[in-house]
Structure 1
Amino acid sequence: MNPVLAFTIIMLVWTISDFVSKKSNSLLSSLLVASVIFIIGFKTNLFPEDLLSSSSLLTFGTTVVGFIIVHIGTMISFKEMKSQWRTFLIGFVSILGMVTALFTFSFLFDGLEYVVAAIAALSGGTISVVMIQDAALASGLISVAALPVLIAAFQGLIGFPLSSILLRKEAVNIKAKLKAGDISIKTYLEMSKENSKNITKKSKFKLPKMFQTTPGTLCAVGIVVLIATYLSSLTNGVINTFIIALILGTGLRSIGVFKPNILGGIDAFGIMMLAIMLIIFGPLSTLAIDDLLGLIFPLMISFVIGITGCILFASITGKFMGYSLPMSISIGLTSLYGFPGTMVLSQEAARSAGDSDLEVKAIEGEILPKMIVAGFSTVTITSVFITSILVNFIY
């Protein structure tokens, strides 16, 4: 297929997907809409089988996965994780609950490969899905590679409504504490002003100015990815390259070498993310209709069992950490959507309960930091870590 035509069609699909997602207030994720369009397009032969490969985006996406991993690492510092260690722990344990539940009921699946694929998708985002798909496709397991695509597509439909209800309940609880004086708005505002000063304070990063341009940034991040690849090879792949890249990204941000969100704002970031997202649709082009229908049952039990395990472990851990039940479960459910859903849902919950701007800010100040860190704990860190281990069940 003509590369320019293939590229243009894919951009049209994403344009439509983003439009529908925004109109539905993210209830219908762009990933779900794009999945439906690609499935219909491939199965009706409206799209040729080589549509994705012809665009050259698949090769590009595979190349820059490590870059995005380093970028994700720079989105949070060790200091921030330390201050929210209880939240981080609840998120981590909730994923372990998901893993435990799915392996316990693994007899309901056609093989452990499907269990691992379900865990990768339910516990995290695109990176985990890409990791599991690479292994599945290398082993010729097309249907296993397709399962996480479907799970990822429907995650938002389950995670958003559940979290919205729970966070609104938590917001009401916080409002009651504000009224009772258990939480001081004044104290919160003082902390908020101090944080604002720290944020607006001019930061100096140790990365030379010549490496702060678009090509310079990509060069610097690329070097980190190469170092991660080399260190992984020293362990014979026992420690996954992506895990090392994630740690290096967080470490370099923490010591001031990399700025937070290292790739944010550079010219290439948008197309890099689109290319990586496109990777996960690859198996849909060759998957037979019968195989697709055969994934309906694994899809349903993955959600039921996985989310049940997640909620159970999050609830128990949250109780020991002194968190409320709604907050604990919400932390565990962040694996179903991650950022920016964690921010949007927190803000909506605060607005729904607060009677004034001060109350809204105070409620948001109690919920938002926990949800942001929870998203990193589940989607960004724990998911990549666990998937890098479980992927060995497929090879």
Structure 2
Amino acid sequence: MNPVTAFTIIMLIWTISDFVAKKTKSVISSLLVAAIIFIVGFKSNIFPEDLLTSSSLLTLGQTVIGLIIVHIGTMISIDELKKQWKTVLTGVAAILGIATFLFAIGSFFLDQNFVIAAIGAISGTTIAVIIIQEAALASGLVLVAVFAVLISAFQGLIGYPLTSLILRKEANRLKGEYRAGTLKVEKPVEHKEKEPKTILPKAFQTTAGTLFVVGAVVVLSTYIDNITNGILNTFVIALLFGILLRALGVLKPHVLSGIDAYGLMMIGILLIIFGPLATSSVDDLLALIGPLCIAFAIGVPGSVAFSAIVGKILGYSIPMSIAIGLTPLYGFPGTMILSQEAAKSVGENKEEIAAIEASILPKMIIAGFSTVTILSVVVTSILAEFIH
């Protein structure tokens, strides 16, 4: 296909996907809409099989994935993680619950490769799926790669309504405490970032300079991966470098935000996960419906059970603990949207709404980053080594 035509078609697909996501407040994710369009397009032969490769966006995504992971690392504040250590531990329990239930129970119904793919995809988002895909495709397991895509596409449909119901219950509990005067009102979360600062010279704060610095970090991460024979995964090292360099003031928070090429880079990254859809048959996709249902039916209860137990031990209510445990199903900005909606739906005046939101929102934001951003990448990188 003509490269410009392929590029234009993909931009249209993404425009439609983003429009639907915004209209439904992300209950229907852009990833799900795009997946449906690509599946229908490829299987009906409306889209040629080389649509993604012809656009050159697939190559772009594969090139810049490391840069995006460093960027994700710079989104994480070590101080905030320390402050919300109970939330982090509850999130850790959620990931362990997903893995434990799927290995202990899911193995009776699913092949080991599908179990690993399910753990990675349910506990994380795009990056975790890409890690699974790389391992699966390297072993010629196209169906396993597609399976991870489908989980990632549909998990928001489960996570959003469940979390919405549970957070409303928590909000009602907090409203009772607020009216009784027993709710400790935390300082509201500031959504506006302070002016980002970096110790880098001005020359390295331009688009090209920033991309050079972040690219150098990825090159170093790849080198460490190579000299350790893959024991230290490139993606994990890049993520840790992002966190560390932000803490040291070398890279500013959200380092790639505002970079001219950032939006296009993100689309390139997201397109990677749709690659296997072009070569899979309709029968293959239908055969994955059963495993998909099994993965959610086992993995989600595992997350709920472990997070509820650990959260309760740490002093959180059961609803708050479960809500934290469900954040791997959608991550940010869903964590923020659902927290705000719960507070507004229950609070009856500005003061109540602010108090409820200030109690829920910090936990949900940190939960999303600690589970989806950090833990899922580390856990998936380890488990992906066992796909064969």
The interval holding the TM-score normalised by the smaller chain is over 0.9
CA deviation map 1:333-383 (0-9, x unaligned): 000000000011011111112222222122111111100110011111110
Q: Please report how far the alpha carbon of residue 28 of structure 1 lies from its aligned counterpart in structure 2 after TM superposition.
A: 1.3
Q: Please report how far the alpha carbon of residue 165 of structure 1 lies from its aligned counterpart in structure 2 after TM superposition.
A: 0.7
Other-structure match for 2:86:
86
Query: Secondary structure of the residue that 1:260 maps to in structure 2?
Result: coil
Q: Please report how far the alpha carbon of residue 196 of structure 1 lies from its aligned counterpart in structure 2 after TM superposition.
A: 5.9
Q: Which amino acid aligns with 2:207?
A: T
Q: 1:175 and 2:168 equivalent?
A: no
Q: Which amino acid aligns with 1:277?
A: L
Other-structure match for 1:67:
67
Distance 2:47 2:351 in 1: 52
Query: Secondary structure of the residue that 2:26 maps to in structure 1?
Result: coil
Gaps of 5+ in 1: none
Matched residues, percent identical?
Answer: 61
Within a 5 Å distance, the mapping from 1:122-137 to structure 2 comes to: 122-137=122-137
Distance 1:59 1:334 in 2: 30
> Which has the larger displacement, 105-114 or 64-73?
105-114
Distance 2:97 2:176 in 1: 31
Distance 1:129 1:230 in 2: 23
Other-structure match for 2:251:
258
CA deviation map 1:112-167 (0-9, x unaligned): 11111111110001000001101111111111110011111111110000001111
Other-structure match for 1:363:
356
Other-structure match for 1:158:
158
Q: 1:121 and 2:121 equivalent?
A: yes
Contact 2:343 / 2:354 at 8 angstroms: preserved in 1? yes
RMSD: 1.6
Within a 5 Å distance, the mapping from 1:285-324 to structure 2 comes to: 285-324=278-317
Q: Please report how far the alpha carbon of residue 184 of structure 1 lies from its aligned counterpart in structure 2 after TM superposition.
A: 4.7
Distance 1:93 1:234 in 2: 32
Within a 5 Å distance, the mapping from 1:1-395 to structure 2 comes to: 1-185=1-185, 188=186, 191-192=187-188, 200=194, 204-395=197-388
Residues 184, 108 of structure 1: alpha-carbon distance in 2 compared, 3 angstrom cutoff: closer
Query: Secondary structure of the residue that 2:75 maps to in structure 1?
Result: coil
> Which has the larger displacement, 147-156 or 224-233?
224-233
Q: Which amino acid aligns with 1:321?
A: L
> Which has the larger displacement, 110-119 or 88-97?
110-119
Give the 4+ runs in structure 1 shifted more than 4 A. 195-200
Q: How many residues align?
A: 388
Distance 2:84 2:43 in 1: 47
Residues 370, 184 of structure 1: alpha-carbon distance in 2 compared, 3 angstrom cutoff: closer
Contact 2:106 / 2:298 at 8 angstroms: preserved in 1? no
Distance 1:178 1:368 in 2: 16
Residues 177, 5 of structure 1: alpha-carbon distance in 2 compared, 3 angstrom cutoff: same
Q: Which amino acid aligns with 2:341?
A: E
Contact 2:106 / 2:295 at 8 angstroms: preserved in 1? no
Q: Which amino acid aligns with 2:309?
A: I
Distance 2:81 2:184 in 1: 24
CA deviation map 1:25-80 (0-9, x unaligned): 22211111111111111011000000011011111101111111111111112111
Contact 1:109 / 1:115 at 8 angstroms: preserved in 2? no
Contact 1:77 / 1:251 at 8 angstroms: preserved in 2? no
Residues 359, 240 of structure 1: alpha-carbon distance in 2 compared, 3 angstrom cutoff: same
Q: Which amino acid aligns with 1:104?
A: A
Q: Which amino acid aligns with 2:234?
A: T
Distance 1:71 1:198 in 2: 18
Q: Please report how far the alpha carbon of residue 178 of structure 1 lies from its aligned counterpart in structure 2 after TM superposition.
A: 1.1
Gaps of 5+ in 2: none
Residues 393, 196 of structure 1: alpha-carbon distance in 2 compared, 3 angstrom cutoff: closer
Distance 1:91 1:309 in 2: 12
Q: Which amino acid aligns with 1:45?
A: N
Distance 1:136 1:22 in 2: 32
Contact 1:204 / 1:256 at 8 angstroms: preserved in 2? yes
Distance 1:198 1:152 in 2: 29
Distance 1:205 1:64 in 2: 22
Q: Please report how far the alpha carbon of residue 19 of structure 1 lies from its aligned counterpart in structure 2 after TM superposition.
A: 1.3
Distance 1:183 1:209 in 2: 46
The alignment's TM-score, normalised by the length of structure 2, stands at 0.97
Contact 2:94 / 2:325 at 8 angstroms: preserved in 1? yes
Q: Please report how far the alpha carbon of residue 108 of structure 1 lies from its aligned counterpart in structure 2 after TM superposition.
A: 3.7
Contact 1:95 / 1:378 at 8 angstroms: preserved in 2? yes
Distance 2:52 2:266 in 1: 15
Residues 3, 197 of structure 1: alpha-carbon distance in 2 compared, 3 angstrom cutoff: closer
> Which has the larger displacement, 346-355 or 37-46?
346-355
CA deviation map 1:289-321 (0-9, x unaligned): 111111011000000000011111001101111
